[in-house]
A and B are shown apart, each in its own frame.
Chain A
C-alpha cells in the first residue's frame, strides 16, 4: 500500500508523504488501517515486542533529505491505540543541487488513552546540507507520548551542515512545550558556551502525560555532567543532553527511557 510521491517542484527535489493511523483492534491489540508512504519515508509494519502495541519501522531513510526536498509524515494513535514508530537507520541530511533547505515536517496525534512512541534513529547533519525540521504533536488529555530527538552535527570529524528544528507539543489543547534549535555554520553563537560548547550531538527525550506514579517524584535533577531531567510546567518530563558524539548521546537517553513503564 503505497502513495506515490507527489509531483516534485523541480527535477532535483522530492516531495514525499507518509501516513500512519493506529486504532484499537477490539482484541486488546492495535490495528493499522492506514499505512502509506514511499521513497525516503517508507513505513513498514514490523514485529512488536509489546502485544498491545503495533510497531512501524521507517525504512529507506538513508539517502534523504537532500536540500530542496520536502518530506511530511503524519502519525495518529487514536483513542486507546498503542503505536511505536522507529527507524531502520540514521537519517542523513545531505546537500542537494539547490540552495533551498530541505523540509521535514512531522505531525503526531495521540487520542485519549492512546500511547505513541516516536523513536526514530539519529538525524545526522552532513557538511553543506540545509534542513528545517518541525515536529508538531497534539496529545489529548489522558494520552501518552514519548518523543526521542537526536541530532548529530556532522559525520565523524566533519563540519556539520545547517540544521534548524522546532518541537511543538500541545496537551489537552494547550501549549505544553515549544523549542527551537538552530545549529551549524551560519547559526550565530551555536558552538559557544551557551549553546553547544564544542559538543557534536544534542538530543531530547520527552515524556508527555506523566503522572507521579509513572515517573516517580517529578524533580529536576542532573543526569551526569551534560544532561538534565526537567519536569515541564505541564504533565511532562524532558531529558536534555549534549554529548561529544552520537553513541554517548544515545547512552544517556537510553537511561532515561527507563523512567516510565510505558
Chain B
C-alpha cells in the first residue's frame, strides 16, 4: 500500500462518485418488510457482503492487479443478470470515472473511459482508480467490500429512522468479515478472470427490477 490516506479518500462516502444516492437493495428490502431492525440490517449486510460484495471486490482487485478492464467489464455483465443492476453499475462507474480522472489522472483510466463512454461497471473503475492512485489489489477489494455494506447501512438510517449509532455498530461488527472478503477477493484476483467469484443474492436480483419500476422512491437503487 503506497498510502492509507489515498484509500481513505477513495472509500470516503463524501468522495463525489454518486454512491450516496443508492441503497444497495435496502430500500426494496425495507418496503418488503425484510429489514425492520438493526439485527435485520446486520443479516442483510452480511448476505450482501458475501455475495454482491465479494463479487465486486474480486473485480476491483483484478482491475487493480492489471487484468484487462474490458475483459473484467464483460465478466461483470455475466455476473449481473438484472438489467436494472447493470444500469446502476454503469451509471456509478461513469460517475466514479469522472471523479477518479480528476483526482488521480492516468492513461489506464483515460483508455477505459474512451472504450466505455457510457460507463464501465463500477467495481472495474474502482479497481483501476485504486491502481491509478498507487494502491494495490487488496486496497481496491477493501474499498469495494466496505462499500457493499456501507451503502445499505447508511440508507437504512434514513429509511427506518434507525439510530445512526446502531447502524455504525452494525458496520463495525462486520469489519472482520469485510476484511476476510477482501482477502478472498485479492487471492482470487491472482488467478484467471473466468474463475473470479460470481457470488449472487437472489432477492437482490429479484427486487432490483421491482424497485426500478417504482414511481416514488428515495434511492436510485
Interface residues, chain A, with chain B CB atoms under 8 Å away: 166, 168, 174-182, 187-197, 202, 220-222, 226-228, 230-234, 238, 240-242
Contacts and interface: CB of A to CB of B under 8 A. Distances in A.
B209 A192 contact: no
Interface of B: 25, 29, 32, 34-35, 40, 42-52, 74-75, 77-84, 86, 177, 194, 197-206, 208-210, 212-213
Contact of B79 (A178, A181, A197): A178
Interface of B, helix, strand, loop or mixed by DSSP: helix
A231 B205 CA distance: 12
Contact of A222 (B35, B47, B209): B209
A240 B202 CA distance: 7
A220 B80 CA distance: 13
B206 A194 contact: no
Contact of B206 (A176, A179, A228, A231): A228
15 contacts: A175-B78, A176-B78, A177-B81, A181-B200, A187-B50, A189-B47, A192-B34, A192-B43, A194-B43, A195-B51, A195-B201, A220-B83, A227-B206, A241-B206, A242-B202
Contact of A230 (B40, B46, B198, B209): B209
Contact of B200 (A176, A180, A222): A180
A177 B32 CA distance: 28
Contacts of A232: 77-78, 81
B209 A228 contact: yes
B46 A192 contact: yes
Contacts of B201: 194-195
Given A176-B78, A177-B81, A233-B86, A192 B47 contact: yes
Nearest to B43: A192
A168 B199 CA distance: 12
A233 B52 CA distance: 18
A182 B82 CA distance: 19
Contacts of B81: 177, 179, 230, 232, 238, 240
Contacts of B35: 193
B75 A220 contact: no
A176 B35 CA distance: 32
B78 A194 contact: no
Contacts of B198: 166, 168, 178-180
Given A180-B197, A193-B29, A188 B177 contact: yes
Nearest to A218: B83
A200 to B, nearest CB: 12
Interface centre among A176, A177, A220 (most CB of B within 10 A): A220
5 tightest CB-CB pairs across the interface, nearest first?
A189-B47, A192-B43, A193-B34, A189-B46, A194-B47
A52 B206 CA distance: 35
A196 B34 CA distance: 10
Contact of A193 (B44, B86, B205, B208): B44
Given A177-B78, A180-B200, A221 B50 contact: no
Interface centre among A176, A227, A240 (most CB of B within 10 A): A240
B83 A192 contact: no
B50 A188 contact: yes
Given A192-B46, A220-B82, A197 B200 contact: no
